[in-house]
Structure 1
Amino acid sequence: MTDLTGIRRVAIVGSTASGKSAVAMEVARRGARSDTPVEIVSVDSMQVYRGMDIGTAKPTHAEQGEVRHHCIDLVDASVDFTVGDFKAAHDAAVTDIGSKSAAALLVGGTGLYHRVVIDDFDLPGQFDDIRIELEADPDTEGLHRRLTELDPLAASRMEPGNRRRVVRSLEVTLGSGRPFSSFGPGVDTYPPSPVEQIGVRRPRPLLAERIAERVRAMIGAGLVDEVAVLHEAGMSRSAGQALGYKEIVDHLEGRISKDEAIDTIITRTRQFAVRQDRWFRRDPRVRWIDVEHDPIAEVVPVVMEALTR
C-alpha cells in the first residue's frame, strides 16, 4: 500500500449530471488564486480510456490545460482496465500532487473505484482462467451456494442473484487460496477515512431533465461518430459496457434505430443515477449539499473550506 499520509484529499461525490465537475473546476480556479493549489483526480471508470471523450463527459482540452487532471486517458479503449489498475494510478497521481504541496480533489461517480481509494482497500489479484470457467456456468444461485460453502461471510454480504459479485468472490477465493472476505471488511462497512467526502445532490426530476439534455448534447457533439471509430478499432470488455457506447453500437450494427438508442441511453443513465445516489447515500461519512439553485455558489465554499481545514 502507498503511504498517502499528509496529502490533502477531498472528494466530491454524487450522481451523474449533478454538477460535480463544474464545482471541481471552480474550486481549482479559486485554489490557483490563493495559497491552496488544487489538482483534480478523476474517479471515473470510463474516463481512463483514450478516445472515449464525448460519452464520458470528459473534461475538455481547454479545461485540462487550465487545471491539471489525473487518471484520464490512461489506456486505449481496446484494453481491459481493472479497479486494481485504477488504485495504482490514483496512488501515483496523489503522490505526485503531494510532492508539489498541492491538494488532491477527487471527482467522479464510480462508487467502487471511489471506495477502494478513499479506504485503501487491500485488493486481490485477477485469476482469468478461473473467472472464464465460472462465467461459463449460468446457474448464479448455484455459484452462490458454492461460495457459501467456501466463504460464508462473503456470501452473506451479497444477494444470491448478484452474478458479478458472486463470480468475483468465487474467482478470488479459488484463485488465491484464501477467502474473499479476508481481503477486507467490504463495501458495507464505513471506517474512518482521511478523505472528506462532500456530496452534491439535486432533486430527482431535475436530474432526469439534466440527463436527457446532456445525452442529446452528446449526440449533437458527435457521439455516434466517436463510437463508430472506437468500435471499428475494437473495444475491450470493460470499455464496451460504458453507458452510451453499447447502445450506439447496437444502433451501428442495425439492432435499433438512432432514436431508440438515444431513448435507451437516457433511460439507462437515469437508472444509473438512481443507483449512484443509493450507493453514496449508504455512506454515513458523506456531507450532503442539497443544491437549490446554483451548485457553484452553494457547494464551492464548502469544498474550499474542507481543503484548507
Structure 2
Amino acid sequence: MAVAQLAGDVDLISVDSMQVYRGMDIGTAKPSAAEQAAVRHHCIDLVDPSEEFSVAEFKSAHRAALADIADRGRRAVLVGGTGLYHRVVIDDFDLPGEWPDVRAELAAVDDTPSLFERLRAVDPAAAEKMEPGNRRRIIRALEVTIGSGRPFSSFGPGVDHYPPSPVVQIGVRRPRAVVAELIAARVRRMVASGLVDEVRTVAGSGFGRTAAQALGYKEILEHLAGRVSEDEAVETIITRTRQFAVRQERWFRRDPRVRWIDVDDDPVSDVTPIVLDALDHR
C-alpha cells in the first residue's frame, strides 16, 4: 500500500489463491474496502466460495489485470505469497489440462493415505513435495498423471529451473521465532474481528471443495460442526499457519532471483524505498 500511494501510478495485483473468493475477507487478510478505494487492487473477489477457481483461471485473470493496468498507463506490483501462482505469472509456463471424470473417480476414494501412496508410486517427485494429508493437491496430481499419461511433476519449468525474468522479486525475512509470534497474534486478531461469524456466513451459501480447505476456514468449519472447541480450532490454525510459513519461505528461497531483505519492527519503512527504487530503474 505504501509503495502504491507514494509512487502514485501503481496498481496492486494480489497473488493469493484464496483472496479470489468473495466474502472470505478476514481469514485471507484481504485489503479493506478503504484500502481498495485508496489503491486499485486486482485479482480479488473474482468468484463465490462455492465455485472452483483453477491456477489456469488465475493466470488468465492476471493477464487481463496487466492489460488493464498498461492501458491506463500505470505500473503493476504483485503482492501475496502463493508460490505456484507466482511461478505461473512470472515464468508464464503452460499448465496441465483437466480430466473431470478421472477427478471424480479419485474423489470417490475416501482413504487419502492410499491416494498418497498411489501418487508416490506413479510420481515420486510430485509426492515428495506434497503434504501427505493435502487431499486436494494429491487428487489433482493423480488426475493430471492419469489423464495426461505423464507425471504431474513434468509440467511447468521444473521446480529447480529459474529462467531469467524482467520481474523484480523482493522477499522479506524475519527470524523464525519472531514470525511465529506474529502469526499467533494475527490469528487471534482475525478471530476477534469476527472470523467465526464470517465462516458461518459463507457456509450458509456453501463452500466449494477448494475454498473449504483454506487455512483458517477449514479449522473453523470443524468447530462449527461441533468436532472441536473454538480454542482448539484457533490453536490448530496457529500451528498450521506456522507450518505454512516455513514451507512458503522454503519455496521462495529456492528461487535465486528473489532479493531478500531482513526487516525489523517496521517492515514498511525497510521495504518501501527498495521497491520504489526497483520501480524507477526498470
Q: What TM-score do the two structures reach when normalised by structure 1?
A: 0.83
Unaligned runs of 5+ residues in structure 2 are none
Say if 2:181 is the partner of 1:205: no
Say if 2:92 is the partner of 1:92: no
Q: Deviations over 1:5-61 (max 9, x none)?
A: xxxxxxxxxxxxxxxxxxxx00000011xxxx1000000011000000001000000
Return the offset for 1:166: 5.8
Q: Deviations over 1:222-274 (max 9, x none)?
A: 11100001112110010001111111111111111111111111111111111
**Equivalent position amino acid for 2:204 in 1:** E
Does the 8 Å CA contact 1:141/1:161 hold for their aligned counterparts? no
Identity %: 64
Unaligned runs of 5+ residues in structure 1 are 1-24, 149-154
Does the 8 Å CA contact 1:144/1:160 hold for their aligned counterparts? no
Question: Which of 261, 271, 279 matches 1:299?
Answer: 271
Segment of structure 1 superposing worse, 192-201 or 68-77 = 192-201
1:65/1:241 Cα in 2 relative to 1: closer, same or farther (>3 Å)? same
Distance 1:40 1:161 in 2: 30
Say if 2:2 is the partner of 1:26: yes
Aligned to 2:198: 226
Question: Which of 28, 33, 41 matches 2:13?
Answer: 41
Segment of structure 1 superposing worse, 195-204 or 46-55 = 195-204
State the SS of the aligned residue for 1:50.
Answer: coil
Q: How does 1:106-117 map to 2 (within 5 A)?
A: 106-117=78-89
Aligned to 1:257: 229
Does the 8 Å CA contact 1:42/1:70 hold for their aligned counterparts? yes
Q: Which has the higher contact order (CA 8 A, sep 6+)?
A: 1
Say if 2:105 is the partner of 1:129: no
1:246/1:161 Cα in 2 relative to 1: closer, same or farther (>3 Å)? closer
Aligned to 2:46: 74
**Equivalent position amino acid for 1:269 in 2:** T
Return the offset for 1:195: 1.1
Does the 8 Å CA contact 1:141/1:160 hold for their aligned counterparts? no
Aligned to 2:260: 288
Q: How does 1:56-205 map to 2 (within 5 A)?
A: 56-135=28-107, 136=109, 138-145=114-121, 147=122, 155-156=124-125, 158-159=127-128, 167-176=139-148, 180=152, 183-205=155-177
1:158/1:255 Cα in 2 relative to 1: closer, same or farther (>3 Å)? closer
Q: Deviations over 1:190-209 (max 9, x none)?
A: 11122110001111111111
Q: What TM-score do the two structures reach when normalised by structure 2?
A: 0.90
